[in-house]
Structures are given as structure tokens and as C-alpha cells.
Structure 1
Amino acid sequence: MAKKKQIELTIEEKLRNALVPKEEQLYKIPNNWCWTYFKDIFYIENGYAFKKIDYKKEGIPLVRISNIENGIVNINECIYVNKLEKNEEKYVIEKGDLLIALSGATTGKNGVYYLDEIAYLNQRIGNIKIKNKEKVLNEYRNYYIALKNEDILNLAYGGAQPNISPKVIEFISIPLPPIKEQQRIVNRIESLFAKIDRAKELIENTLAQFEQNKMAILHKAFTGELTAKWRKENNIDLSSWKEKTIDELCTSLKYGTSKKSKPEGSVVVLRMGNLQNGEIDWSNLMYTDDKEDIEKYLLKKGDVLFNRTNGSADLIGKTSIYRGEYPAIYAGYLIKLDYGKDIIGEYLNYIMNSNKARAYCNKIKSSGASQFNINAKKIGAFKIPVPTIEEQQEIVNILDKLLAKYNKIKNLEQQLEKIELLKKAILAKAFRGELGTNNPDEESAENLLKEILAEK
């Protein structure tokens, strides 16, 4: 049976279909802008299903999801493939292209390809192409996708390994300004972001210096240098220090509950995210009402918790002391170090957050299923210097005083979080036409959209 001939729409009909109905528009925009759909100004090219046997040590770089990092495409550790013989153009990545992960745990993450050399696009990645680069700027597209990243992720399906179809993305709506206004918006965003990034760099440098100073102080504390004067005044020799393992100092090393916690309940369940900078972070809490667990895992003031599992090698081994602020138990990813009479909890907490402990944890960690792990047996074998109880208390007293001022600096970490929120706020204003850049006398963006739609 012969196929029916597809009726060609007029440009006015195409425009009506491309404009988002007023009742579906997300918010008010300037009068010379227009709301349209993703599919009318962009399209997505899917990657090629390269196989492991195609991987080479040299050739054309192959971009995989792991190469998309922090808003850019990084091919420093990529693999290579030979030149494709058919339909190569579809899978070629060029400078300025915007790539987006279409499946996996990082679905929705995106990054710009800034290199001059071409690369190939692997499967499960989409290349968001602009239909007419003279009508829509790369940077305008990039910033809008960055703003809509969470919305795109919400369109994904598949639970633990979400996937998203390019067909679903097609009906995301986008405000389209005139081309000159697009450029002004991009310039304004980049100017504001540059100032924010300078502030962010200053904060990060301050925090890095703080961490360096803190580690130097802790090193002095656990080599005896910090209390040399105290020992002399008290006629105590450095030979009083003994080296002991965590196993020797602790009566037990207990794993926490394996049961699921919930958003509400009578008792807090501390998780690995609650262990921050040697203290308990009481935000983002989960709870339990399980009487058996509460009886078995209830923490007492002074208990020391060790993070035995993490997706980041740098964060495994984090240790914090519980000070009894709220009734709490602890989750299975944590180990409670039940220390005995030969060591003070605060001393143990400090030394478990030292470079010595970090180096040990890094050495003994094992990896599997994207997680790094340290079991109780391995942490129990960690040897630490142990002075007398009196000198331990003196070390704790000195460290508390020295690090008190630095703890105020740590509040800068909250400023870093605010900076990221500020960037989102700027983007939100930009795509509402609220950055003070719009010229209402410029030609309507509907004419711009017509020109895009008129092209074959």
C-alpha cells in the first residue's frame, strides 16, 4: 500500500506549533522574546555503540560518560578508536558541542567540548546540536541546559540506573530572545560568573591554607613537640609515650545498624554524611523508632565514630566524636571505636583526623562496586602514639584553643555552597530577562524562530 504524501505546513502553521501556548509558559518573559520547544531549535545526536574490541591506544579520541567532568569534556584519560567508515559525521564531536549523559547514575550531567581536534561520541551520550548557529548561540544553549539540569534528570526513568530518551527532552520549553540579546545575556552571565569564581578561588585557597596549618599543628601534637614545655614543667620524659594499636586501646569495634532509616522518628540515625571535620553535622538527618536498634546502638557522650565506606577515597576514614546533642544511633557504614581507660575520646578523635591516619587509611583501603572500604580488623591494626592520660588532656586542651579560630574559618565552606546557589539564581534571572540587558525595541524573537523553522 502506497504511503500517504505528507502535507507540507506553511511557515505560519509551523510557527504556531513551535510556540508554547500561553497557559503552558513557565513564567513571563519580555514581550520581544518567545517561548518555544527544545525540538524546534535543537536536536540530539546519539553516540555510536563502540565495543571493547574497538578500543585502541591511539587514533581518534572516544568520549564516554566518564569524560564529562564539571561542565567540560576532559579527554586526558580517554581511549581511542579507528576512523569510522560509514555515517561518521553523526558521531563526530567538534569544538563547542554540548554533550549530555543519557543513562547511568550520572544521567543529565553535561559538558562542553573545547578542543580543536575532533572526537567520536560513544553510546549513551547525546550531542545537543543547534539547528542554526547564526540564530542561537552555543553559550546561550549551554547556560540554559545548565539551569535545566535537574529538570532533565527528573524526566529520566529506570530507578538506580536512570535513562532518558532524547524524545522526552524534545518538549522542554525554552525562552528565546533576539540574537543580540542572547549575546548580551551571555556577556553579562560570564562577567558575573568571573567575579564569583574569583571569590570562590579566594575561599578555596583560604580553606586549603587552613587545612595545611591544621595538619602541621596535629603533627606537632602527635610527635610530642606541642607539649615539650609541659613535659619539662612536669618532669616527664618523652619515653612515657607508648605506641599501641587501636585494638589494644579499644574494647570493641562495632558496626552500626543495617536496617533502613526514615525521614521521621524518635531517634537520629547518624550516617557517613553526618561526620564532618571531627564533629557531628546535625543537618540532613534520618531517624528510627526501632526499639531493638535503639537499645543496641544508642550512642553515649564521647563515643567516636569512624567512616569505613565511601565512594571517594579522600573521604573514607573520616572520624567524628558524638557529644550527646540529641539521642542517636549509627548506621552500618560506620564503626564505633569503644575506647578503654588508656585513651581520651577527644585525643582519639584528633589523631584519627591527622595526616598519619589518612595515610594509613589510604594504604589499607580496598575497593569494589564503586566504593572504598576499610574493615574493623584493618583499622584495629593502626598504631598510634599514646602519652599519659594527663598529657593527652593537655594536648586536647592546646588543640582546642589553637583550632578554635580555624573552626570559624571553616564556615567559609558554607559560603562555597551559597556561591553555587548564587550562580543558579543568576541563570534563573537571565532566562527571565531580568539582568537589565534587554532592548524592547529590537525585532521580536518570533521572526528569528520563523527563519529557523523555514530551513530544511
Structure 2
Amino acid sequence: MGRWKKVTVEDIAKKIQYGYTGKTIKKGHYKYLRITDIQNQSVDWSTVPMSDVSSEKDIEKYKLEINDILFARTGATVGKSFLIEDYEPSIFASYLIRVQPQEIVFPKYLYLYFQSESYWKQIRAHEVGAAQPNVNGKKLGKIKFPLPPLPEQKRIVTKLDALFADIDKAIGLLEENLAHTQALMGSVLDEEFGKLEKVSSKKEKLKNLTTKIGSGSTPRGGQSSYKQSGISLIRSMNVHDCFFKDKNLAFIDDEQADKLKNVEIQENDVLLNITGASVARCCIVDSSYLPARVNQHVSIIRTDENIFPEFILYFLISPKMKSKLLYDSAGNATREAITKSMIESIEVPIVSLEIQQRLIDKIKESFRLCDELTKTETQKLTHLRSLKSSLLDKAFKGEL
């Protein structure tokens, strides 16, 4: 690294500039690139709206050029950058900062540095404002980075591009495998319940197989009335397919719980989300979270002695049944919702408890194998993604 120099962004920038303040219009001559148009280090130009920019002075000042580097200066994506490599005639919006590098810097070299942990440490140190983190142009200009001779910059970019392409290919294959593994779980459910229908054509409405179907309510005062501890109040955010998520689990006191005693959860109750974006998600809550109640977005399904709760759980989350529930809920006049009568009218295949148990055991074993495979593939994905960070670190230390 003998010929490498430590410089700042302002040392090598022709320009560090805020974007245009304007509005979008239906018809115009220039696209209006905003923070929200930059997703996963790419831009779908077909979705970028037109700008109201009209004066030649503003167009000349704010129009994008190849090798511009744009930064999000505020919001959840503060510090994220985007290199303009191809584009449609566009100007950039005011919540973006543009850096135009001088000729001594290969633009993609600088852009790749902006993906490194060394860069992000500086950004976090320079963030201004607690409520809404932001980085202004002056702070961005003070970011330090190592600058080798131009040929070395180009060599590093070529090497990183090749390595990243291999990593991205491997990540893509793993993500496909992961998607197939997760789809396999659904296929197992549909296959097993499909076999049951061939074994027994007898079906029974769910209302005739349960001792309770019903949802609760939110205590007076809403979230402000929740307690730090006490009796669990289970909401739709806690109910996921086949697992219970205790993040943001709410609590109520004895007095509040007494008003909801008709929706007290018992061990092995099946919980079904009946409204909103998470409608049709379903699980059985572990007894360690009891005593508990449910709010109005979650229904309790309590089976009788003729059917196992897990049998109903797996039946409800099978892709075929879930599709029906989602279709029925979408037909509600006011919002996505599964009504009590819809739940009661669900037709369940009737088989002996012995056959139910065999099916439950088989599904559990299939899920266990899928979970193991998912865990292995997720670990590999995590490793590959961290490998990019490691390669960037080596590259900007002159070790690549």
C-alpha cells in the first residue's frame, strides 16, 4: 500500500450537491429519481415518475450523468448509495446527495467503498439527529477512504465484480433451494390430507367438532391500557403458521382479564387470525404463555374429544385450505375477515384418532427434516452475505 493515499470525499469530488425540490407530474421530459425508487441497489426506471422541472438552468444543474453516485441523506435508508451506470433522462430529488468524482477516482471503486463496513462506521458516527437520522453534504465530504493509483482501483473493481458475481450466483441457488424447501412443507400437507379424502369421504363441519369458536376484544384504552407484566393478551402479530411469536406480546391485569374470561385460552387451543394482512395464520400457543386471552383479531378453536388440535392446525394451514380461507376472507364487504360462521362451516375430513395421530407424526417428521434443511441453507446464506463484507474489507486494506 506504499502508493495508497488516505483522502476524503471532498478531496476528490468535483461536486457534492443536494437534489431538486419539486413534485411529480403525469407527463414531462425528465424522470424524478427519489430515495424510494432505489431498491436493492437498483432502479426500475419504468416506475419512476416524471418531474415538474422546466427551466433549463434547473435541468442543467440537476440532471443525472453516468458515474454519478447518489446517497440517501435521511430516513431509514440514510447512507445507502447508488451508482448511475445506465439511466433515462432524469433529475434527482432533494433527499438525495450527488457526488461526482474527479478523474483520479474510478467511480465504481468509490461506490464499492461505500458498501464497506469502514464506510458505515463513519456514517454511523456522522449521523445527525436522534429522531430522524440524517447525513448532510458536509459530513459526507469528510468521509475518509484509501485511494490507490487508478490502475489499481480498476484491478480491485474487476476482481470484486468477478468474486461478487460468483457469490450472487451461489446466493441465488441457495435462495431457490430455500424456497423449494419451504414450498415442500405445503406440498406435504396437501398430499397427506389429499390421501385422507381418498381413505374416507366423510366430512363434518368444524362447529360439530369443537366446544368453542370465538374471538375476544381489546381492553378499554387500547395499547395505553397494557401492562408491563400480567396475563398474556395474544394479538394477530403473535400468531404465525405453526409457531407463536412472543415479540410485542401484550399483558393485561386481572380486572381486564376478567372482562375477557369468555376468551380465556386453554392448553392446546388452536388460534386463528381472522382479520387484516395476517388473516388465516394459525398456531397452537405453548402452555408457558398461559393464562392468556385473545383480542378481536384472533379466534379460539377448541376441539372436542373426537379430533386432535394438531390435526385441525395442520388442516387449516395446508395450502389448499389456506387458499380457501383467504378467498373467503377477501369476499368480505368491508375488510379482509374470516367470520365465525365461516369457521364453523369449514368441512373437515373425518378419520379415527389413530389415523389422525399417524398423520400428525408423519407431518411433524417431514417438518423437522425441512426445518433442518432450512437452517443449513440459511446458515450458508448468512456466510455468503458476510463474505462480501470480508472481501470489501480486504480490498480496501490492499490485501485482495
TM range (shorter): 0.7 to 0.9
Is 1:141 aligned to 2:110, yes or no? yes
Shift of 1:286: 7.1
Distance across 2 between alignment mates of 1:330 and 1:190: 54
* SS of residue paired to 2:70: strand
Shift of 1:203: 1.0
Q: Which residue of 1 aligns with 2:30?
A: 60
Unaligned 5+ runs, structure 2: none
Letter in 2 for 1:77: T
Superimposed CA distance per residue, residues 386-423 of structure 1 (whole angstroms, 9 cap, x where no aligned partner): 23473544442332233332222211133323322222
Q: Which of the numbers 19, 30, 46 marks the counterpart of 1:47? A: 19
Instruction: Please tell me whether the aligned partners of residues 227 and 394 of structure 1 are also in contact (alpha carbons under 8 angstroms).
Output: no
Q: Which of the numbers 125, 135, 153 marks the counterpart of 1:164? A: 135
Trace 1:144-155 onto structure 2 (pairs within 5 A): 144-147=113-116, 148-149=119-120, 151-152=122-123, 155=126
Do the aligned partners of residues 75 and 37 (structure 1) sit closer, same or farther apart at CA in structure 2, a change above 3 Å counting?
same
Distance across 2 between alignment mates of 1:35 and 1:418: 30
* SS of residue paired to 2:11: helix
Q: Which residue of 2 aligns with 1:239?
A: 202
Do the aligned partners of residues 209 and 331 (structure 1) sit closer, same or farther apart at CA in structure 2, a change above 3 Å counting?
farther
Distance across 1 between alignment mates of 2:255 and 2:123: 39
Q: Which of the numbers 161, 181, 185 marks the counterpart of 1:190? A: 161
* SS of residue paired to 1:50: coil
Distance across 2 between alignment mates of 1:112 and 1:347: 53
Q: Which residue of 2 aligns with 1:453?
A: none
Instruction: Please tell me whether the aligned partners of residues 215 and 354 of structure 1 are also in contact (alpha carbons under 8 angstroms).
Output: yes
Unaligned 5+ runs, structure 1: 1-29, 232-236, 367-372, 436-456
Q: Which residue of 1 aligns with 2:395?
A: 430
Instruction: Please tell me whether the aligned partners of residues 46 and 127 of structure 1 are also in contact (alpha carbons under 8 angstroms).
Output: yes
Instruction: Please tell me whether the aligned partners of residues 280 and 325 of structure 2 are also in contact (alpha carbons under 8 angstroms).
Output: no
Do the aligned partners of residues 300 and 146 (structure 1) sit closer, same or farther apart at CA in structure 2, a change above 3 Å counting?
farther
Do the aligned partners of residues 82 and 403 (structure 1) sit closer, same or farther apart at CA in structure 2, a change above 3 Å counting?
same
Shift of 1:278: 2.5
Do the aligned partners of residues 387 and 198 (structure 1) sit closer, same or farther apart at CA in structure 2, a change above 3 Å counting?
same
Q: Which of the numbers 269, 294, 301 marks the counterpart of 1:339? A: 301
Letter in 2 for 1:339: I
Superimposed CA distance per residue, residues 217-268 of structure 1 (whole angstroms, 9 cap, x where no aligned partner): 32334xx422246x3xxxxx42334366999962435669947899xx9999
Trace 1:125-274 onto structure 2 (pairs within 5 A): 125-130=96-101, 132=102, 134-147=103-116, 148-149=119-120, 151-152=122-123, 155-159=126-130, 161-221=132-192, 224-228=193-197, 231=199, 237-242=200-205, 250-253=213-216, 258=223
Distance across 2 between alignment mates of 1:169 and 1:275: 43
Distance across 2 between alignment mates of 1:180 and 1:275: 56
Letter in 2 for 1:143: L
Q: Percent identity?
A: 25
Letter in 2 for 1:94: E
Instruction: Please tell me whether the aligned partners of residues 9 and 141 of structure 2 are also in contact (alpha carbons under 8 angstroms).
Output: yes
Instruction: Please tell me whether the aligned partners of residues 273 and 299 of structure 2 are also in contact (alpha carbons under 8 angstroms).
Output: no
The size of the alignment, in residue pairs, is 379
Instruction: Please tell me whether the aligned partners of residues 189 and 318 of structure 2 are also in contact (alpha carbons under 8 angstroms).
Output: yes
- Structure 1 length normalisation: TM-score? 0.67
Q: Which residue of 1 aligns with 2:43?
A: 73
* SS of residue paired to 1:48: coil
Shift of 1:68: 0.4
Do the aligned partners of residues 289 and 322 (structure 1) sit closer, same or farther apart at CA in structure 2, a change above 3 Å counting?
closer
Q: Higher relative contact order at CA 8 Å, sep ≥6: structure 1 or structure 2?
A: 1
